[in-house]
Amino acid sequence: MLRMRVVPGREDRFLDIVRTVGAAVAANPSNRGQRVFRDDTGTFHVHSDWADDESFWAHERSTEHRRLIGAMREVREDSTMTTMTEVDVFDNRTPHPTSHSETSSSGVADS
């Protein structure tokens, strides 16, 4: 998750840059999708989902990605990046066991 505080008045430029970077990221077959959020303080949060850590870090270190995100320097006040590992999903499309004891080691509910 990338958290970025944008220079006031530069939000539209930031979103233009994010859309350009996002299109390039979406072209990577290991990227599962991205979402951009804005909180009530005007801080943006970019969530990017990847097939695996290795693919994410290869992308992050790539010359092309470094070139594309260079444009963010002009609009960024500060930023932080946090990597996370998904441990569960709660939505109306994902069945869930009623307790951890009902889940096999593969993560699939026992029948």
Residues 72-102 have pLDDT tens digits of: 999 999 999 999 988 988 888 877 666 554 4
Domain membership of residue 28 (yes or no) is yes
Note the pLDDT of residue 106: 44
CA distances to 50, 89, 99 from 107, rounded to whole Å, are 19, 12, 12
Pick the closest to residue 71 from 24, 1, 23, 20 (CA basis).
20
The list of the chain residues with pLDDT below 70 reads 96-111
Note the pLDDT of residue 86: 86
Query: How many separate domains does the chain show?
Result: 1
Domain membership of residue 95 (yes or no) is no
Domain membership of residue 100 (yes or no) is no
Domain membership of residue 102 (yes or no) is no
User: Which domain CATH number covers 72?
Assistant: 3.30.70.100
Residue 43: beta bridge partners?
5
- Domain range for 23 is 2-85
